[in-house]
Each structure stands twice: as structure tokens, then as C-alpha cells.
A and B are shown apart, each in its own frame.
Chain A
Amino acid sequence: MKVELEADKCVASGQCVLAAMDVFDQDDDGIAILLADEPAVELLDDVKEAVAVCPAAAIRLVEQ
């Protein structure tokens, strides 16, 4: 699974960081940064949570 982030949709809520701290971070403007676009399997549930809570629908999880 691969994580895709549309940074220009991001509204800097930081919800993804709260859900999956090992996969997402925020820059100084709050815009989400992807730390790992192919996260380890044990992080997938956290990433799915991040996808679901992102208020901007800016994160996607795609099968490879």
C-alpha cells in the first residue's frame, strides 16, 4: 500500500499527525508532510484512521 498526500488540499488541521505520528508531520505552516509513503504494515490501521479523519480528504491509500 502506498500513501498519497495532496498537500495543496491540506488545511493544516494536524489530524493525520495525531492519528499516525510515524507517517505524517507538519511543516511550519501546518501543511502535512509525508514521512513514509510506504509505511510498515503495522502502521496501516493508523494511516487508515488518518485518511478517514482528514478534514480536507487530502490523503489516499492506494493499492500497488
Chain B
Amino acid sequence: MRRIVVVGASAAGLAAAETLRREGYDGTLTLVGDEPLAPYDRPPLSKQVLAAEWEPERLALRTADALAALNLDLRLGVAATGLELTGRTVELADGSALPYDGLIVATGVRPRRLPGEGAHVLRGIGDALALRERLTPGRRLVVVGAGFLGAEAAAVAWRLGCEVTLLEPAPVPLAHAVGAEVGEILTRAHRERGVNLRCGVAVTEVTEDGVRLADGELVDADEVLVAVGSLPNTEWLAGSGLTVGDGVVCDEYCAAAQGVYAAGDVARWHNPLFGTSMRIEHRTNAAEQGMAAARNLLAPDAGRPFAPVPYFWSDQYDMKVQAYGYLRGHDEVAVVEGGMADRRFVAAYRTGDRLTGVLAVGMPPKAIRRWRQAIAGRAAWQDAVRTEVPVTEVS
């Protein structure tokens, strides 16, 4: 293999490029990114950058020297526009065409938007800087969507002295992801501070003065942040022959076709640990999957299934939420350490007869580690929750 193209120059694409070099690949390595910036980190955008604690320079994922050492053919500020699978060529927006022997697709996601103009989204450095400039004390911010991103931004804006309204279509925020009980704890954290969290309201459009709800009500705002999920960047693959369905569909090796792999937010792959197809928009997964895809591309005959225990964290007010595993579609949640009332607990998630996830708030990391290991070891629920601490079932 003499020519490898990695499309997407964020965490997953960078991890793939670094792994290729680390594993000894010394051919041409092209890294394509649609943003003009060198690879940078996104989780701090809704936290330290929005709070003006960090300047964007701090987000660089690698120093200039470390990037140079990778000896990349770096194409920044240019999007990929097409893929010719049989001819093994990637087309770019500047009209150039990149032939490849191996390809890694890591084009990520973009924010879902709402009808109407003037709303902020939060995905890139420019988005975060534009919003933070407006978050001055007393300013009225409406955040549409109380998922992790919206909730983190609401917490920061509250701390900056804004008057914050958080609008969520579901009856309880994040219930589908972490269960209603944990969702309620997050709800209380917002309300105790005076954030106006309204659940069960659908926003139909962004207007000049705020947002309009499905029942016609206008919610006034100086600034609107739309945080209602994201869409995988797969349009450029239309007609290529790759299977696209809420992401680039891959097998358990992250392979989408012969010599073509996908990684990061855009990849939907079969995770054999949980026996299901998943697409994960977590920072940790981007790096891990980028590495896995690169290794399997270089050694397809010795391919290793990508079977991670997903991990995410979220910072909201004084709470750090950490979760391991696959919590979606769970059948039961049980508190296995601490208590939800004082916001110091470990909650275990059951899907079928297995322990599939664990979520902790305010607990030391060592308390979580053995649960992560139990998930990785496919522990049966009955065995995993059998502890000296009485288990409180909450759902």
C-alpha cells in the first residue's frame, strides 16, 4: 500500500493518521479537512472555551512539530465531494482528485438545525467564539435541546450571568440515553439554579425575537442556541456504492468496503461486545476507532473486531457525569453505590440479562473501574449487582 487517504482532520482522522505511521506505514498519507484549522479538540468548546477560560489555541490536538513529524500531505480548508470506489479516487472541492490504495472516512457530523435564521450552533471553534461573545450578564439565552451539549452550554451561560431558558421536547431530558431517574437529577440541577427548564415543548422555528413553539407561543430571547442533535456527513458518498444509513455502515472491523474503513462520529459499525450496530459521537470513541480502523486497513488478514466499551463524560455545574458502556435501550437501572438524592452514586444498566452500562456522578474513578471491567467481560446482571451494598431498583 503506497497511498492512503484519510478524509476528516479531527480526532478520529488524526488518530488514524498517527496510528498508520506508528504501525510503520511510510507511503503517501493525505489528510483532508474541510476546516482551515489544524486538528483540534471539540469537547472544551461547550465548556472551557464557551466560559472564556481557554483560548482556541489551547485546543490544538498536536503541536506543529508533532504534526510535521507525521509527514502528511495535509489538505486543509477543502471538503471531499465525491468517492469513486471502483477507480479508488477521492474528489475534492478544489477540483483535485486523490487516488488511494486505502481510505479512511472520518468526516464526522454537523449540527441539526431548525427553520429560521440567526440561531447559534456549537460544533466548531468559530461557533463557540461567536456564542461566547454574546453571553454577557443579563442576556437572555434560549437553548433548544437539553441533551448533553445543550445542558453544558446552559450551565456555562448561567455561570456567566445569563438568563437561561432550556427547552426540551421530551418529558424528561436524556431519558432515552440515561434513563428517566438520572434525567430527573439533571433536571433538578438546572432548576435549583434558576434555569428555566421546560420539558415537553416542541420548537418549530427560530424567529427574530426568539423561538416559536408548536402551540404558537413565542419564547423571547436575545440569543438562541440550537442543540438538537447532529447529522452524519455522508452526502459526499452518495452514489459511491458505500452503504449509508445514519452513518457509513461498517462491519465489526470498521470496514465499509474493501480497502475502505470508517471511524468516529460518522461510522456506524457492528460492536460485537454488545451484539448491535452503533454510531457513537463521543470523543474517546473517535480516537479509539481511528486507531482500530488504521490497524485493520494495514493488516486486513489479521483484522481485529472493534469491540470497545464506550465512554463519555459531561460537566454540568458542579457535577461530573461519567458513563461506560451502551446505555441506550436499557431495560432497568439500579443504584449500586451511593444515592441519587445527594448526587453521589453509581447506577448500573441492565439490557436483557446482562450488565451493559454504568453511570456515575460524583464518585471516585476507582469506584467505576471494576464496573467497566464487568461490562467488558460481558457480566451477567445477577452476578454483577450481587454486592454487599443493597441495590435500589429505580426502574
**A13-B287 Cα distance, complex, nearest whole Å:** 13
With both chains docked as a complex, state the minimum distance between the C-beta of B113 and any C-beta of chain A, in angstroms.
Answer: 27
Mask of B29-63 contacts with A, CB within 8 angstroms, 1/0: 00000000000010100000000000000100111
Instruction: List the B side residues contacting A26 at CB < 8 Å.
Output: 364-366
Check if B284 sits within 8 Å of A15, measured CB to CB.
Answer: yes
**Which of A9, A18, A53, A60 is the one whose CB lies under 8 Å from B287?**
A53
Q: A4-59: which residues lie under 8 A (CB-CB) from chain B?
A: 9, 11-15, 17-18, 26, 28-30, 48, 52-57
Q: Decide if A30 touches B43 in the complex (CB within 8 Å).
A: no
- The answer, yes or no, to whether B320 is at the interface (CB within 8 Å) is yes
Residue B317 is within 8 A (CB to CB) of chain A in the complex: no
Greatest chain A CB density within 10 A among B15, B287, B291, B372 is at B287
Q: Of the candidates A15, A17, A60, which one forms a contact with B311 in the assembled complex, judged by CB atoms under 8 Å apart? A: A15
Interface residues of B in 346-378 (CB under 8 A from A): 364-366, 368-369, 372
Given contacts A11-B43, A14-B369, contact A57 B284 (CB under 8 A): no
- Select which of B63, B284, B322, B372 is within 8 A of A53 by beta carbon: B284
* Closest A residue by C-beta to B288: A53
Interface contact A57-B41, CB-CB below 8 Å: yes
B313 within 8 Å of A (CB atoms): yes
Residues in chain A near residue B296, CB distance under 8 A: none
Q: How large is the interface on B (under 10, 10 to 19, 20 to 34, 35 or more residues)?
A: 20 to 34
Chain B residue numbers with a CB within 8 Å of A55 are: 11, 43, 283-284, 287, 311
Main secondary structure of the interface of B (DSSP, over half): helix
Residues of B near A60 (CB, < 8 A) are 63, 66
Kindly state the separation between the CA atoms of A48 and B287 in the bound complex, as whole angstroms: 12
Of B18, B58, B313, B320, which is within 8 A of A52 by CB? B18
Of B61, B62, B364, the residue contacting A28 (CB under 8 A) is B364
Q: Is B328 an interface residue (CB 8 A)?
A: no
* Closest residue on chain B to residue A54 by CB atoms: B287
In contact, A12 and B43 (Cβ under 8 angstroms): no
Q: What is the chain B residue whose CB lies nearest that of A32? A: B365
Is B322 a contact of A52 with CB atoms below 8 Å? Answer: no
**Which A residues lie within 8 Å of B365 (CB)?**
12, 14, 17, 26, 30
CB-nearest residue of chain A to B48: A9
A6's nearest neighbour on chain B, judged by CB, is B58
A15 and B19 alpha carbons, distance in the complex (Å): 17
Q: Whole-angstrom distance between the alpha carbons of A12 and B322 in the complex?
A: 9
Cβ-neighbour of B364 out of A11, A30, A53 (below 8 A) = A30
- From residue B51, how far is it (CB to closest CB) to chain A in Å? 14
Asked if B320 and A57 make an inter-chain contact with CB atoms under 8 angstroms apart, the answer reads: no
- Which of chain A's residues have a CB closer than 8 A to the CB of B18? 52
Q: List chain A residues, Cβ under 8 A from B313.
A: 11-13
Q: Does chain A have a CB within 8 A of B193?
A: no
Chain B 193-216 interface mask (CB, 8 Å, partner A; 1/0): 000000000000000000000000
Cα A29 to Cα B273 with chains together (Å)? 29
Query: Which residues of A are found within 8 Å of B112, using beta-carbon distances?
Result: none
A-B contact pairs, 7 of them (CB 8 A): A13-B322, A28-B364, A30-B365, A55-B43, A55-B284, A57-B41, A57-B61
Residues of chain B at the chain A interface (Cβ within 8 Å)? 11, 15, 18-19, 22, 41, 43, 58, 61-63, 66, 283-284, 287-288, 291, 311, 313, 320, 322, 364-366, 368-369, 372
5 other A-B residue contacts (CB within 8 Å) besides A30-B365, A56-B41: A12-B313, A52-B19, A53-B291, A54-B287, A55-B284
